A = this chain, B = another copy of it.
Amino acid sequence: MAELFDSVDAAQKMSTPQAERDANVKNALDKIKHKFIVMSGKGGVGKTTTAVNLSIALSNLGFKVGIMDVDLHGPDVPRMLGLKGLLDLNVKKKLRPMDYSPNLSAVSIESLTSDKDNAIIWRGPIKYSAIQQFIADVEWGDLDFLVIDCPPGTGDEPLTIAQTISDAKAIIVTTPQEVSLADVRKSISFCKTVEMEIFGIIENMSGLSCPHCGEAIELFGAGGGEHTANTLGLNFLGRIPIDPKLVKCGDDGISYQTQHGDSPVSLAFVDIAKRMSTIV
C-alpha cells in the first residue's frame, strides 16, 4: 500500500504538535473575516462548481478570497480552477496556497499528491488532523473570505469544520428533485445540531432548456430548493440554471465567468456573491 502514502508523507512534512497547531489555527482564522462552508446533502449537485464560482465572483468584486478544498476523496477544486503542480513551502515551512489570481488562492489535497489517480484512503481521525493542518499550516494571510468546499453528507469533514471554525456559515447546495431535497434536510439538521449558522440555500441545476429548440426539459425539475428554504424559514439565495458549458469549463479548468460573463448562470453567481459581501 506504499503508493498511497505519498500524500500522507506530504501531510507529515507540515505536522506540528497539537497545542502549537491549535494556536496556529486560531492565528490563521483571526486573519480571515468571513468563513463560508459550501455543503450538500447529496453528491453531484454542483457543490464544487458553486464553491469555485462564488469564490471567483467574490474575488472579481475586489475581495481577497481563499478556497479550501476539504473533499479529501474527490478533490476537484484545482482541476476546476486549472491549477496544476504541487504546493510549495515558504521559509517558515508553511504551505503556500496556489494563486488562481491576485485575489484568489486555493489549497487542496490534490495539490499535495504527485499521482492524481491515487485514492486517499483515510479513516476519520486522519481527516480531522489533515483539515486542521489545512488551516494552521497554510499561509493564508489576510482574507476577506474563506470558502470551504466540503464533501457531501454529514460526516467527518463538515463536523471537523464545525468544531474548528465556530463562526463558519453554511451555504447548502441542492438540486430540485426530491431525492436531493430529502438529503438537504439532513444537512439542515446537521447545522442545527452543531449550531452552525445557515446563510442560505442555493438551487443548482434548476431547469434546462434545449440548446437546439429552446423547449424546457424536465430533468431534475425546478423550484424544489426554494420551496424547501421557504418552508423551513431559511434564506433562498438563488437558482442556477443547468448550462452544459459550465460542465465543460469545469472539466477544462477554464473560468466560466470569464468566458460567459453575461449568462444567467454567471449573473446568478455574482448576485449570490454580492449577498455574501453585504455582511462584510
Contacts and interface: CB of A to CB of B under 8 A. Distances in A.
A170 interface: no
A187 B79 CA distance: 17
Nearest to A40: B43
A19 interface: no
Contact of A44 (B44, B182, B244): B44
Nearest to A219: B244
Given A179-B80, A251-B177, A118 B189 contact: yes
B43 A152 contact: yes
A74 B159 contact: no
Nearest to A205: B44
A121 B193 contact: yes
Interface in A23-55: 40-45, 48
Nearest to A245: B218
> What band does the interface of chain A fall in when counting residues whose beta carbon is under 8 Å from B?
35 or more
A3 B193 contact: yes
Given A151-B153, A251-B177, A121 B43 contact: no
A270 to B, nearest CB: 23
Interface string A167-210: 00000000101110011011111100110000000000000101
Nearest to A128: B123
Contact of A247 (B48, B117, B177): B177
Given A79-B182, A124-B156, A217-B244, 12 more contacts: A3-B189, A44-B44, A44-B152, A48-B179, A73-B154, A74-B153, A119-B154, A119-B186, A178-B251, A210-B213, A213-B213, A220-B247
A125 B43 CA distance: 22
A233 interface: no
Contacts of A45: 43-44
A215 B213 contact: yes
B183 A74 contact: yes
Nearest to A42: B74
A61 interface: no
Nearest to A152: B43
A100 interface: no
Given A76-B179, A212-B217, A217-B210, A186 B120 contact: yes
A76 B182 contact: yes
A217 B244 CA distance: 8
B182 A43 contact: no
B190 A218 contact: no
A212 B213 contact: yes
Given A210-B215, A212-B217, A74 B43 contact: yes
B242 A219 contact: yes
